[in-house]
Amino acid sequence: MTMQKDAGVSVEAMIEDLRTLVEVESPSRDVESLAASAKAVAGIIEHRLGGHAVLVESEAGPHVHWSGGGEPKVLLLGHHDTVFPLGTLDRRPFTVADGRVTGPGVFDMLGGIVQAVHGLATLADRSGVEILITADEEVGSRSSRALLEERALACGAVLVLEGAADGGGLKTGRKGCGAFQVSIAGRASHAGLEPTAGINALVEAAHQVLDITAIGRPEAGTTVTPTVASAGTLENVVPAEATVVVDVRVESAEERARVESAFAALAPHLPGARISVEGSITRPPMPESAAAGLFAVARRLLPGIEGRAVGGGSDGNFTAALGVPTLDGLGAVGGGAHADHEYVLIEAMAERAGLVAGLVATLQNA
């Protein structure tokens, strides 16, 4: 079975629904804004699919849950929080031009939500289908993880609505990811009068950055990247404190354990300096085996579509780690996630809506 390219959806209607979501800005951790965004998501789901979308309150903001009734068989999983601060829309308004839709959050991942809802709307039977759109994916999914894992286990299959891989491919594997903060405590002193009386936390941080970078094993798919550092107060004071924040990506559980052990074993170089480490690899790797069966279905529906393992994490990491079949990257085709040039290709919107619908129909009848 293959799918029809237009899938019976209206691209114009999808664009208008996407405009509605983008113009309700939804930065992570802004609970008031996320409450408004959740209501907008729920409104679109109810308008297009009927039924009632439940707002699940949390400390991070409301998650949106909808069910088509019947025995759960497939979970459509996404998030409505974005990385852009309030006011981004003033500088970069929602725009449709030259075959692209642009605006904060269009690709990551409001476009995927809209496409999935419109694709599902083409199915007369929506039983067994659940939609969960969370409010905190961009900041670690701490408040939503238990809920999304519960619904993934109940449904038995997960379609993740994150943006497509480069070239429109599906995401069949993801690295595990997390962050660490290394804090250094030294001792302040006058940089001119008594420079040696202090313990320079900035110098110690420089040593730690080199030690941290050496933990990486690119040949094993492990990247360990210092990304943020801070130290010092004034130019004439030996710094007493410093911090280094590190992004970590791993492909295997073995590398996850090794990296976490290596961070725990970091030791100071300067006499008297003290080191403390916080953090972990919070998203486990998503192995390609988790997507194999669903990807085979996608290839039958859309011959020639590619699958790719990528470095970024998503909530699909959590569901795949539970052993639930998970296929990611089913959202918008475009690019520029988290960047000012973020965009969605209009010509691919109907096809992606149809792909989601085809996958759902196949799982309903499995």
Q: In what order do the strands lie in the sheet with 334-335?
A: 95-97, 100-102, 343-345, 334-335
What 3 state SS string does 166-185 have? Answer: HHHCEEEEECEEEEEEEEEE
Where would I find the H helices in the chain?
11-22, 31-49, 88-91, 111-121, 145-155, 201-213, 253-264, 292-301, 316-321, 349-364
| 137 among known catalytic residues | yes
| 136 among known catalytic residues | no
Burial status of residue 59 (CB atoms within 10 A of its CB: 0-12, 13-18, 19 or more):
exposed
Catalytic residue among 17, 130, 136, 137: 137
Q: How far apart are the first and last CA of the chain?
A: 14
| Helices and strands (H and E) in the chain: how many | 10, 16
Q: Around Cβ 127, how many Cβ atoms within 10 Å?
A: 13
Non-local CB neighbours of 16 within 8 Å, separated by 6+ positions? none
Beta partners for 66? 131
Catalytic residue among 17, 25, 30, 81: 81
Q: What is the distance between the alpha carbons of residues 45 and 23, in angstroms, rounded to a whole number?
A: 17
Q: Is residue 158 within 8 Å of 324, Cβ to Cβ?
A: yes
Residue type for position 61: G
One DSSP character per residue, 303-339 reads TT--EEEES---THHHHHHTT--EEB--S-SEE-TTS
Mind telling me the catalytic residues?
Answer: 81, 137
